[in-house]
Amino acid sequence: MTTQQSIVTYGKAIQAQLASVVNPVPVYANFNRNFASQPKFVTWQLRNVHQPVYTGPTQSNKGIDTPTFQASVFAQDMNDAFGIEDTIVQALHGYTGQFGGSSGIFVAKIDVSMLYNTYDDQVKLHQIILDCRMTIPC
């Protein structure tokens, strides 16, 4: 039985963890205006924050939260994009423990799924999309 954790906490933990994994590559929430001057960077977006709700008189009677953050790797060079993707997968796939530093959250596991790679000729950047599903027994 627990209460829903704040997405502010999730967001800060994702930002901190991704930034430490791919350091010194910059990490942003959502796309940013620096693509013209930065040859590689990572963005993320959070979705599907949801704990199953059990019946009963107590509102805090909920299950395990399974939010997903979608990380996008951007790079001018395809080798860089694939390299950063591999760094994230090696570090986070199956990860258990404190996520996002001491002020972050505890995750039981993370499932990383590489969805696809693509090339955006508008911004001249290779892109790799990763789905990272967190299991948070809060």
Partner 1 sequence: MAIARFENIAINNVVNTIDSLGQTTTALTLWFNTRAKVMDVRDAMQNAKDDRVYIRNVKFVLNYTPNTKTISDNQFGYAINWRNSDWRISDVMESNDRMNVTLTCYRNDPVTSL
Q: List, edge to edge, every strand of the sheet that includes 27-29.
A: 27-29, 40-47, 68-75, 125-135, 109-120
Strand, coil or helix: 67 = coil
By CB under 8 A, the count of residues binding partner 1 is: 19
Q: Which is nearer to partner 1, 32 or 118 (CB)?
A: 32
Strand, coil or helix: 77 = coil
In angstroms, what is the minimal distance from the CB of 137 to partner 1?
24
**67 preceded by cis ω (within 30°)?**
no
Phi and psi (nearest 5°) for 116?
Answer: -165, 165
Binding mask 3-42 for partner 1 (x = CB under 8 A): -----x--xx-xxx--x------xxxxx-xxx-xx-----
Q: Which is nearer to partner 1, 37 or 122 (CB)?
A: 37
Binding site for partner 1 (CB under 8 A): 8, 11-12, 14-16, 19, 26-30, 32-34, 36-37, 43-44
